[in-house]
Amino acid sequence: MATVEDYVARIEGTCGAESDVIVVFKYEKKDEAIANILKKATLKSKIAGIIFELTFGNASFRLYSNGKAIFRGIKNKEELNRLLAGLLL
Amino acid sequence: MRGTTEAINLVAYSWGLNNLGKGDEVLVSLVEHHSNIVPWEITSKLRGFTIKYAKVHPDGTLDYDDFESKLCSKTKIACLSHVSNVTGVINDVKRIGKVAHENGALMLVDGAQSVPHMNVDVQDLNMDFLAFSGHKMLGPTGIGVLYGKKEVLEKMPPFMGGGEMIKEVSINESKGQCSVSWNELPWKFEAGTPNISGAIGLGEAVRYLEDLGMDNVLSHEKELAKYAVERMKECGKVTIYGPSSISDKLGIIPFAIDGLSSHDVALFFDNYGIMMRSGFHCAQPLHEFFKLHSSARASFYIYNTQEEVGRFMEILKEIEQL
């Protein structure tokens, strides 16, 4: 059974006052991760097919076609894990 | 040294712990990288000295009047970055050093952002300490330099013990004594096995830059920065922080785009293979002064071209449409 760790290479808290989190997907799994996310999240806007502005539940985030995503206003690790599980699995 | 951070820590611990105490003051500025603030904050807790912070002007340039008014007989060391890693502003360290010396204080210069980009003459600038890193000047990571005046370094005890820094260690078990003597400079500060490959790599980087000529390095960067700033001013949603003129700054351009976090901006550029830093750039006090949550930073070096600045501008204009 797939897990969040199968898709995620690393998670970085951003440096700054914002509580944003950048998720970097594993290179070999990034296309699958992006496909899963686009299936489950609601698309708000798309720029040139490479940047997707999305929402999922109360969360808003931006997904990049190079396999990175930035989630805004994440309170803690548990919230992010729940979000990623919902989007990826 | 492993880099600028370790070099400043060496001064804070070796010189600071032995020369600073209650009633003494260390003067730093709000433009400093955390590496020139935190070592002093840590050692101030151990020795009880006070840290004073000199202000900056709204455009990010140093408030020289404030810095100089805070330099007094209590000041034992003035610490200033030669070039801000956030705004690229070149600080007049010679002027500050002169006032520091007139007040009997030492002058430490964080050269992490100046030494890779311009000529820095430690004798002309009359600094007591200069710290810089290899990885910001085409050298390897994990290697850097602390320059210090010999007479100051001679009086400082070692920062770390063991290996190269030892001259003699003799144990008299019957007396329960161990006598240790230190090696000469610079080995007194070279504990453990040296970073040999790093030093060779840094040496080659220095030779390479010297062959190019530091004046050429500086003029190339300034040319690119001038072109970039002129083009960025065409963008209605872009705010550039720091001084509007590039005459007294290097090729570092901190900016923001209305409605986007710096991380969004950096990730957007990343998608096109352009890397830039976002966040506090390890200079939170300066961002708090600017009332910024973070900033994006475009920076140029000798390997960048005008065509690349043009590509940067194309993408910047795309981001404006978000």
Please report which confidence band the pLDDT of residue B296 belongs to, taking 50, 70 and 90 as the band edges: very high
Please report which confidence band the pLDDT of residue A73 belongs to, taking 50, 70 and 90 as the band edges: confident
Residue B314 touches partner A, C-beta closer than 8 Å: no
Please report which confidence band the pLDDT of residue A17 belongs to, taking 50, 70 and 90 as the band edges: confident
Domains of chain B, each with CATH number or no CATH: 4-159 (3.40.640.10), 214-320 (3.90.1150.10)
Q: Chain A closest CA to B259's CA: distance in Å?
A: 13
Domains of chain A, each with CATH number or no CATH: 4-88 (3.30.310)
Phi, psi of A58 (to 5 degrees): -90, 0
Residue A16 touches partner B, C-beta closer than 8 Å: yes
Please report which confidence band the pLDDT of residue B214 belongs to, taking 50, 70 and 90 as the band edges: very high
Q: How far is CA B33 from the centre of its chain?
A: 6
Of A20, A51, A65, the CB nearest to B263: A20
Q: How far apart are CA B68 and CA B289, in angstroms?
A: 20
Is 80 exceeded by the pLDDT of residue B162?
yes
**Overall size of chain B counted in residues:** 322
Say if residues B278 and A13 touch (Cβ distance below 8 Å): no
How far lies B177's CA from each of A80, B162, B174, B271, in Å? Answer: 57, 17, 8, 63
Please report which confidence band the pLDDT of residue A51 belongs to, taking 50, 70 and 90 as the band edges: confident
Query: Hey, what are B140's tokens?
Result: 């390897």
Q: What is the CA radius of gyration of chain A?
A: 12
How far lies A53's CA from each of A29, A44, A61, A65, B322, in Å? Answer: 20, 5, 6, 12, 10
ipTM of the complex, rounded to two decimals: 0.83
Average pLDDT over residues A17-26: 89
Q: In the prediction, which pLDDT does B276 show?
A: 94
Is the preceding omega at residue B254 within 30 degrees of 0, hence cis? no
Mean pLDDT of chain B: 95
